[in-house]
Chains A and B, each alone.
Chain A
Amino acid sequence: MPKKVVVIGGGIAGIQACLDIADMGYEVHLVERTPSIGGRMAQLDKTFPTNDCSMCILSPKMIMCAGHENIKLHTYSEVEGVSGEFPRLKVRIREKARHIALNRCTGCGDCITKCPVKVPNEFEEGLSIRKAIYLPFPQAVPRKVTIDAEHCRMITEKKCGVCKKVCQAGAIDYEQKDSLIDIDAAAIVVATGFDLFDASALRQYGLGSCKDVVTSLQLERILSAAGPTSGHLLRPSDKKEPRKLAFIQCVGSRDAKMLPYCSSVCCMYATKESILVREHVPDIESTIFYMDMRATGKGFQEFVNRAEKQYSVRYLRSRPASLQAAHGESGVLVTYELVGGTTEQRTEEFDMVVLCPGLVPSSGSEALCALLRIELDKDRFVKMPNWKHPIDSSRKGILVCGFAGEPMDIPDSVAQASGVAARISELLQAVA
């Protein structure tokens, strides 16, 4: 019997950890709470600094993960309990009812077309709607629909039943219950990733009150050819192409009162987005309001230089004081202070503003860590207290990779994820 490992979180860190651990011959159970693996990387349009298409490089890994003989996917599932100690941990997984017989659903999508209930689409960051029965995105793995029980009329009101009528595979099961699975795991990997800080909590940034203020992740979706505007850069208020765009860095982050830390990736993704928008609207002018331009990775400073010289991106070191809707509903007035021996305030109008909010440990990760009995640091990331073993949590046999431990970019997450496999192999060799 091969030893088992439970990996929590199906983003790029969790996927890579699964692949390497599985390649070492262990049996891996991947627990992902949404209906598909892929995580945040699946939502990105391109990746810095090479502008590789994000989904294009991710989706082969997702499929490899699903097809690997040593990997078992538990999507739409959560870890509900953990007991025991390394190397004899017991993990209870709740597979939430999808109300779909997975072995029957072919992912044809007939049910989605006919479903009458419209819900804001989380994958599209609320920029479009999805149905109550849905596939989160076209490349979803597994490619099986899910019924959102909270919104399904048949489940909430016993009225409708359209999806069941149209499903030729007979896959719809309104009565389906959650199921519980217990795994005897030798080790656990936490790869729970990040969420965006809710920038609407900071009124001065205008998110929610100014229509043309969007988050950086919304812009990723807008720029994506598969996104809500089919890749056309249109501002929300009047669906016109913006000509003058502002990016605001460190929204909520590097702020002692909110998030004291730096999210590590925003300077670079804003630079990437400022280059990409110019490929969509060739004469667009972008300004990036920043505090320190942190371009510390391979090819990053060159990328910033290219944005500045080749794509005429204006880097302006200033932290805007307020954002307000311009005349009518369209456009945004940004008020900021000029740096350099003056305290002059200036107000400049932009067609659209992109906020780069601080990134926070994903919702629910705190409760999960309590369940796992592992410590958090003061910023609520998983604490990794051992210098020699920088991917070990405070509890033996529970490892961490990616953003769950501290803010980092994709390659650092992937390197750590592979590292987790080595660490597990070390630990298990010692008790073999």
Chain B
Amino acid sequence: MPRIGVFICHCGHNIASTVSVEEVAKFAATLPGVVIADHNLYSCSEEGLNSIRKSIEQNKLDRVVVAACTPRTHEPLFRSVCEQAGVNKYLFEFVNIREHCSWIHAKEPSSATEKAKRLVAMGVSKAALLEPQTEGESNVIPAALVIGGGLAGLRATASLAAQGIETHLIEKEPRLGGLLNDITTLAPYSESADTLLQELVDEVRGSKRAHIHLNSKLRGLTGFVGNFKATLDEAGKKKEIEIGAIIVATGANELQPEGEYGYGSVPGVVTQLEFERTLKRGEKPGDTVFIQCVGSRQPGREYCSRICCNTSLKNALKVLEAGGTATIIHRDIMSYGTVWEEMYRKASEKGVRFIRYTLNDIPHVRSHASGTAVDVFDETLGERIHLDANRVVLATPLISQKDSAEVGKLLKVPRDKHGFFLEAHVKLRPVEFATDGVFICGTARWPSSVRETLSQALGAAAKAAIPIKRGKVVIESITAWADPDKCAACGNCVASCPYEAIEILEQDGKRVAKVNETQCKGCGTCVAACPNDAMQQRGFTTRQLSAMIDSLVKHALEESP
């Protein structure tokens, strides 16, 4: 008979103000196998963890159930307490009674309490059948791959190489630098973008640990954290490299506003990047009107691209220096922080004109005898005004790279609805993917300034360096396996596996499915696809899940008249 301990968390008032924690604990104590059921104000606090640890030792528990918040944030913590108390961490079961009970049913405390009891009963019945697992360890290949040779990728490569790690940088274009090649100076100061770029390129080229692959694309990837094998297409030639970690730094692109505000039809209308190129060629800008939020912050593409206002401020100041006039037509000026706000103030003081428009009445751009004209309703003045311009600069947002879907698919990492890569957690894991060993930085994740991009590149470089410096990674234990007696070698599992972790092999004269456990991520898809109940997943076996359902049905039957 197992010895199960159940610990119910108040989560302060988060759970306890809706769910009667005492009642759930009292109920849990009556469940088969449960030797102790207790409750804590905050199970995750030092005090809570200590009391669980002591209880495991005193009651000689061999299974632990915590009913609290979410395993996404807290499972590692409770698992480690089990380990400290000498219980295999896979003999721990998490029941979520906060998101699933108190928060969602905040207005129905008694039903929420009933639901919490049933979820706890299900957790206990599963816990009784849990089996200990051992975690394998794997060596880490002491090399990294950085995808994308723009600012983010260059800085990440320079960092990894400087940390003593062999780093492969792949760039699909024939030159390094990405969008930075088109930029004149780095706002808000007058540092030349070329200087920064050249310094970085020199550093990477000069490092014996950095290996640059131009005209190269990722074509395939197998393996897992610490042991990836990447297939590259380098200028038409296939190449294979082995690496321990990967950084995605594929950047972004400027939206081409075809047909909007006279782009393509009215002379003198350019995008911000095209404008940068004219400045870089030394062309005099003349009188310039900037229109912000072209193609962004509106239905269809809701987001703010973060860097466009600050770029317009920088370039408006350049226009003034070159003797032209500058007007910025905007909806809100996004000069956040210290340096951008200072630049905004400087632009106002030096005579850049700011006109605010709304989506209800957008500016109109047309040809004019002497050049280009913009008609706009000035919200502050409350009247329509007319502006003559030599150039109209359309500040369009950064959009995700066309091939980001392809990269995402090869690396098996997600993207958001705009095509930007989706980090593991928007608040606390900004440079990591949920997939171990794969990291993200720069505008491939979200539009960001040069300084932000550099910081993120360093962040991703730190994360990628950690497993390599440690030299070992722990291999996932919650994996699938096939019961050879039940397997009919139908191949459904092979076809369904998104990680190419299953093969049909000959074993003892019989063809059976075989899972490569280092490649299996424990997603469970093959288990669902198996028609013969041969495929099982550790920690989620049919027996364990059936026991949970049985417990739920049993309680439902007992209560129904």
Interface, chain A (partner B; CB < 8 A): 12, 16, 20, 23-25, 47, 49-50, 52-53, 56-61, 63-64, 66-67, 106-107, 138-143, 225-226, 230-231, 254, 256, 260-262, 264, 292-302, 305, 339-342, 377, 379, 381, 387-391, 406-408, 410-412, 414-423, 425-426, 429-430
Report yes or no: B451 in contact with A390, Cβ–Cβ below 8 A: yes
- Given A339-B379, A387-B191, residue A138 in contact with residue B45 (CB < 8 A): yes
B73-93 vs A, CB cutoff 8 Å, 1 = contact: the mask equals 110110010000000000000
Given A138-B45, A296-B304, A340-B379, do A415 and B426 touch, yes or no (CB 8 Å)?
Answer: no
B409 proximal to A (CB < 8 A): no
Chain A residue contacts of B13, Cβ below 8 A: 225-226, 230-231
Q: How many angstroms between the C-alpha atoms of A97 and B459 in the bound complex?
A: 36
In the complex, the chain A residue whose C-beta lies closest to that of B452 is A412
On whether A414 and B456 interact (CB within 8 A), knowing A107-B46, A296-B306, the answer reads: no
- Is A139 within 8 A of B76, CB to CB? no
User: In the complex, are the beta carbons of B469 and A24 less than 8 A apart?
Assistant: yes
User: B335's contact among A64, A262, A406, by CB below 8 Å, is which?
Assistant: A262
B186 within 8 A of A: yes
Q: Which of B316-340 contact A (CB under 8 A)?
A: 332-340
Which residues of chain B are within 8 angstroms of A63 by Cβ–Cβ distance?
44, 46, 49, 77
A191 to B469, CA, bound (A): 25
- Check A292 against B333 for contact (C-beta < 8 Å): yes
Chain B: minimal CB distance from A341 (Å): 2
Tell me whether A422 and B461 are in contact in the complex, defined as CB-CB below 8 angstroms, given that A63-B49, A230-B17 are known contacts.
yes
Segment 287-310 of B: residues with Cβ below 8 Å from A: 297, 302-304, 306
Within 8 Å by CB of A391, from B200, B425, B455, lies B455
Say whether A60 contacts B199, CB under 8 Å: no
Check A261 against B342 for contact (C-beta < 8 Å). Answer: yes
Q: Closest residue of chain A to B78, judged by CB?
A: A60
Instruction: Check B428 against A418 for contact (C-beta < 8 Å).
Output: no
Chain B hits for A415, CB < 8 A? 430-431, 441, 452, 455-456, 459
Q: Which listed segment binds A: B109-117, B173-181, B232-240, B380-388?
A: B380-388
Q: State the 9 A-B residue pairs at the shortest beta-carbon distance, nearest first.
A: A341-B382, A419-B458, A418-B459, A422-B462, A292-B332, A143-B46, A225-B13, A296-B306, A421-B462
Known: A297-B306, A300-B303, A422-B462. 10 other contacts (CB 8 A): A63-B44, A138-B41, A299-B426, A341-B380, A412-B430, A415-B459, A418-B460, A420-B462, A426-B159, A430-B162
| Complexed CA–CA distance, A419 and B340 (Å) | 22
Given known contacts A260-B345, A415-B430, is B45 in contact with A143 (CB within 8 Å)? yes
Cα separation A418 to B458 with both chains bound (whole Å): 7
The answer to the question of B532 belonging to the interface, with a C-beta cut-off of 8 Å to chain A, is no
Contact B338 A406 (CB under 8 A): yes
CB of B466 within 8 A of chain A? yes
Cα of A389 to Cα of B465 in the assembled complex, Å:
18
Q: Is B540 an interface residue (CB 8 A)?
A: no
B341 & A254 in contact (Cβ 8 Å cutoff): yes
Residues of A within 8 A of B425 (CB): 57
Which chain B residues lie closer than 8 Å to A57 at the CB level?
A: 73, 425, 427-428
CA distance A407 to B339 in the complex (A): 10
Q: Which residues on the A side are within 8 Å of B336 (C-beta)?
A: 262, 264, 294, 296, 407
Q: Evaluate whether A301 and B459 lie within 8 angstroms (CB atoms) in the complex, with A142-B46, A379-B338 already known.
A: no
Knowing A261-B338, A419-B459, the reply to whether A426 touches B162 (Cβ < 8 A) is: yes
B224 on the A face (CB < 8 A): no
Given contacts A52-B427, A388-B199, contact A296 B334 (CB under 8 A): yes
- The contact of B427 among A47, A106, A379, A422, by CB within 8 Å, is A47
CB contacts (< 8 Å) of B199 on chain A: these are: 388
Within the assembled complex, what's the spacing in Å between the Cα atoms of A410 and B345?
Answer: 26
Q: Are B466 and A20 in contact (CB under 8 A)?
A: yes
Which chain B residue shows the least CB distance to A422? B462
- Chain B interface size band reads 35 or more
B382 touches A342 (CB 8 A): yes
Give the distance to chain B from A187, nearest Cβ to Cβ, in Å.
14
B339 closest partner in A (C-beta):
A406
Q: Is there contact, CB below 8 Å, between A260 and B458?
A: no
Which chain B positions have C-beta within 8 A of A56? 11, 69-70, 73-74
Which residues of A sit under 8 angstroms from B456, Cβ to Cβ? 415, 419
Q: How far is the CB of A58 from chain B (nearest CB, A)?
A: 8
Residues of B within 8 Å of A139, CB to CB, are 42, 44-45
How far does the alpha carbon of A419 sit from the alpha carbon of B158 in the complex, in Å? 13
* Interchain CA distance A20-B430 in the complex, whole Å: 14
Q: A289 → chain B, closest Cβ, in Å?
A: 14
Taking the closest CB of chain A, its distance from the CB of B225, in whole angstroms, is: 14
Q: Are B162 and A66 in contact (CB under 8 A)?
A: no
| Minimal Cβ-Cβ distance residue in B for A20 | B462
Could you tell me the distance between the alpha carbons of A284 and B491 in the complex, rounded to whole angstroms? Answer: 58
Is there contact, CB below 8 Å, between B458 and A422?
Answer: yes
State whether A298 touches B420 (Cβ < 8 A): yes
A412: B residues at CB distance < 8 A:
430, 452, 455
C-alpha spacing A293/B14, complex, angstroms: 32
Instruction: From known contacts A61-B428, A292-B334, A340-B379, infer whether A225 and B17 are also in contact, taking CB-CB under 8 Å.
Output: yes
Instruction: Indicate if B39 sits at the interface (CB-CB under 8 A).
Output: no
Q: Tell me the B437-454 residues at the A interface (CB within 8 Å).
A: 441, 445-447, 450-452, 454
User: Would you call B163 an interface residue if the criterion is a C-beta within 8 Å of the partner chain's C-beta atoms?
Assistant: yes
Q: Is the CB of A305 within 8 A of B302?
A: yes
Contacts of B402 in A (CB 8 A): none
Asked if B416 is an interface residue, CB under 8 A from chain A, the answer is yes
B82 CB to nearest A CB, Å: 14
- In the bound complex, residues from chain A placing their C-beta under 8 Å from that of B108 are none
Q: Is B463 an interface residue (CB 8 A)?
A: yes
Q: Given A63-B77, A430-B162 in contact, is the A298-B462 Cβ separation under 8 Å? A: no
Q: Are B470 and A381 in contact (CB under 8 A)?
A: no
Question: Nearest A residue to B155 by beta-carbon distance?
Answer: A388
Contact residues in A for B469 (Cβ distance below 8 Å) = 24-25, 425
Q: A24-B462, A415-B455, A419-B462 are in contact. Are A107 and B47 (CB under 8 A)?
A: yes
A14 to B92, CA, bound (A): 31
Chain B residue with the shortest CB-CB distance to A432: B164
Shortest distance from the beta carbon of B160 to any chain A beta carbon, whole Å: 8
- Residues of A near B457 (CB, < 8 A) are 419
Considering the complex, which residues of chain B in the window 342-386 have a beta carbon less than 8 Å from any beta carbon of chain A? 342, 345, 379-383
Once bound together, how far apart are the Cα atoms of A226 and B45, in whole Å?
A: 14
- Residues 226-248 of chain B: 1 if any A CB is under 8 Å from the residue's CB, otherwise 0? 00000000000000000000000
Q: How close is B41's CB to chain A, nearest CB, in angstroms?
A: 6
Q: Which residue of chain B has its CB nearest to the CB of A141?
A: B46
Complexed CA–CA distance, A60 and B430 (Å): 17
Q: Is the CB of B446 within 8 A of A298?
A: yes
A427–B406 Cα gap in the complex (Å)? 36
Instruction: Give chain B residues whose Cβ lies under 8 Å from the Cβ of A425.
Output: 163, 462, 465, 469
Q: Cα distance A408–B452 when bound, in Å? A: 10
Residues of A within 8 A of B303 (CB): 298-302
| Partner of B162 from A52, A298, A416, A429 at Cβ < 8 Å | A429
The closest CB in chain A to the CB of B310 belongs to A296
Which of A59, A262, A391 sits near B337, CB closer than 8 Å? A262
Asked if B528 lies at the interface with its beta carbon under 8 angstroms from chain A, I say: no
- B429 CB contacts on chain A under 8 angstroms: 414
CA A261 to CA B12, docked complex, whole Å: 37
In whole angstroms, what is the CA distance A367 to B14 when docked? 40
Question: Can you give 16 A-B contacts (C-beta < 8 A)?
Answer: A50-B426, A56-B11, A57-B425, A57-B428, A140-B45, A142-B46, A231-B13, A261-B342, A296-B306, A341-B382, A387-B196, A406-B339, A412-B430, A422-B159, A422-B462, A426-B163
The answer to whether A340 touches B465 (Cβ under 8 A) is no
Chain A contacts for B73, CB-based, 8 A: 56-57, 60
User: Could you tell me the distance between the alpha carbons of A52 and B303 in the complex, rounded to whole angstroms?
Assistant: 21
**Is A422 a contact partner of B382 (Cβ separation < 8 A)?**
no
Q: Mark B161-201, 1 if CB is under 8 A from A, else 0.
A: 01110000000000000000000001001010000100110
Which residues of chain A are near B379, meaning CB under 8 Å?
Answer: 339-340
Instruction: Please judge, given known A-B contacts A56-B69, A61-B428, whether A429 and B164 are in contact too, CB under 8 Å.
Output: yes
